[in-house]
Structure 1
């Protein structure tokens, strides 16, 4: 399914038009009639006031939930307050694992998610939310906005009566935080580890790592009580929001199991189709703005949190040897190729990602250190 793309250069010109909207809607979709809209909004537009509910896979106070809230704020700003989306944290409307069905069935109009949670429905959803040892956050951003990636999201979610727009892209996760040091694959084989993602679980099984399922909300306590010896959540600033370093001082980096990530908003297709085109445009624009903001915001907060964890919280960074890393890399690719051969949807997304890499990798290699960058102290004697 093709979706109209609003280019960044159109933002300023489109904003004025969005602030003087015109159209109609129904009460069942959360819309008021034009007369009530004028009374509430105090404007002269014939377009209705729209009120939606947005559930979330993230709890109140979780740093990811603030991104859901920012998206809703932008939608309101772009429509002069006529289109409002109220955010509800995980558990307020439904449990995190129920959110997909709530949006698909129209119980609520939209939900903030991480696609990996729906891997049980189709493993292709995981590629739309994270990759093992593959895409960076910047790769995701370019693939989605320039190389046809957005069509993969629409293709997958439309099979379940939903539209989808990324609203946050983060860079590689922190790595595994543990109660004892990890310096090799052998160390992990003797530990109970929490890893997110079906594909990462399959890779871990091939590598001989014992994976234990623990929800994000129980991660701190599980580390504290010894239910698990190590685990991951997200990037440094997200881990810091859960204070994982208090119970897991060792930090094995980088995060091969999630080298980049995407969160987004699922939108019930019927609710979407009932929106005036101007409101649909506002959603797309809000998603684009939010994604661009978060791409830098999260990384800057990661810089700050990393410095705090190392200098104030006394985290101890460990790493594995190059031979183990090559084993991990080969295993991750093997898992992906096996799933691509077994699942047509997974192959559709994976093929699109590989096509992007074929286009990008030549110049990426030429750039070397001048692509992502380098640290001066690496070259100082």
Structure 2
């Protein structure tokens, strides 16, 4: 056979194969990226732009990475369902997914709380390390599957503040009989020390403090707290919020809907949630410093919880964990994983991060930064 003739025929054959490949690839791509429209109900109002915004960030990334084929529309709390019923709506299939704090549902099962934050556990970096590399996400999704859900971490506020108080908290005795707006698991722990937890919606906290219906309230941190003006009626601003060292938000997806998603869309949603998780923490770290300065300038009086108070709360938390672990196998399995991870995480943190941060904080106090 003539060599040039062979090459020409081979070239024609290759072109034909390429054309066939294009013909075959187009339907395959179309099948992997079908047009989907989902609804995501948030547990948060639009006024909380950083927290609510994490869900919007997630949805935007999904839309962009799928060329608009996978569209998730985000609804604020109350637009479709009440904020504290978001996970129930996702599990029931009323919506395909929700953006929420898992610990809101701890009353159904305390295991839910471990996905967000429990007293004296992780900071935000440690929580992410446990979720992504310590088997945390897999353990949580074992539990979520029993609830008809699939969970993806989608935001973190970082360590929160310890709340606003009408009077100073100088000892454990000052907690007894104190009526405090505090959500969920932290309130259960503080009950052991005589505090009386109150469940009050965000918009009702200020008038309750002003009228003396409650004595204290915790919300989030400087940026979000500033919007509510608490310093005018409860000037003592305590830290740290030991019940929320690294509270993580989740996108909870209806399990059947998750399983139906093409693998490409599952990957897009996972990536988008991880991006939103990082983005939200960065946003708070940028916004909180200036907000804290403004709060102090407008009357907030910063106070640390005393070692005595923190130690009493720590012991009360451990007693609560022991009771729940004895009664709930799912809680115990995840809690045991977290405490084992926590032990080594704080060894490493104090060797490098803590010493570096402490030195730099001393330079800040000395006016050298």
TM-score computed with the length of structure 2 as normaliser: 0.86
Partners of 1:302 and 1:47 lie apart in 2 by 40
Post-superposition shift, 1:145? 1.5
Q: Which residue of 2 aligns with 1:261?
A: 247
Post-superposition shift, 1:371? 5.6
Post-superposition shift, 1:303? 1.7
Structure 2: stretches of 5+ with no match in the other structure:
1-26
* RMSD (Å) for aligned C-alpha atoms: 2.2
Q: Size of the alignment, in residue pairs?
A: 339
Q: Which residue of 2 aligns with 1:290?
A: 276
Q: Note if contact 2:55-2:74 (Cα within 8 Å) is conserved in structure 1.
A: yes
Q: Which residue of 2 aligns with 1:333?
A: 318
Partner deviation per Cα, 1:158-177 (whole Å, 9 max, x = no partner): 11111110110221111111
Q: Secondary structure of 1:339's partner?
A: helix
Partners of 1:317 and 1:234 lie apart in 2 by 15
Partners of 2:344 and 2:66 lie apart in 1 by 38
Decide whether aligned partners of structure 1 residues 156 and 241 sit closer, same or farther in structure 2, where only a CA change above 3 A counts: farther
Given candidates 62, 71, 77, the residue that maps to 1:90 is: 77
Q: Which residue of 1 aligns with 2:217?
A: 231
Decide whether aligned partners of structure 1 residues 184 and 161 sit closer, same or farther in structure 2, where only a CA change above 3 A counts: same
Given candidates 90, 98, 119, the residue that maps to 1:111 is: 98
Partners of 1:21 and 1:364 lie apart in 2 by 48
TM-score computed with the length of structure 1 as normaliser: 0.83
Post-superposition shift, 1:110? 0.5
Post-superposition shift, 1:376? 1.5
Decide whether aligned partners of structure 1 residues 136 and 74 sit closer, same or farther in structure 2, where only a CA change above 3 A counts: same
Given candidates 162, 171, 187, the residue that maps to 1:184 is: 171
Given candidates 33, 43, 46, the residue that maps to 1:47 is: 33
Partners of 1:141 and 1:261 lie apart in 2 by 10
Post-superposition shift, 1:21? 8.4
Given candidates 342, 349, 354, the residue that maps to 1:364 is: 349
Given candidates 236, 240, 248, the residue that maps to 2:234 is: 248
Quick check: which one's helix share is greater? 2
Structure 1: stretches of 5+ with no match in the other structure:
1-19, 25-45
Q: Note if contact 2:119-2:242 (Cα within 8 Å) is conserved in structure 1.
A: yes
Describe how 1:335-350 pairs up with structure 2 within 5 A: 335-350=320-335
Q: Note if contact 2:117-2:247 (Cα within 8 Å) is conserved in structure 1.
A: yes
Partner deviation per Cα, 1:59-115 (whole Å, 9 max, x = no partner): 121231111111111111111221111111111101123222211111110001101
Post-superposition shift, 1:377? 5.0
Decide whether aligned partners of structure 1 residues 23 and 162 sit closer, same or farther in structure 2, where only a CA change above 3 A counts: farther
Decide whether aligned partners of structure 1 residues 73 and 379 sit closer, same or farther in structure 2, where only a CA change above 3 A counts: closer
Post-superposition shift, 1:373? 4.1
Post-superposition shift, 1:224? 2.5
Partners of 2:365 and 2:89 lie apart in 1 by 53
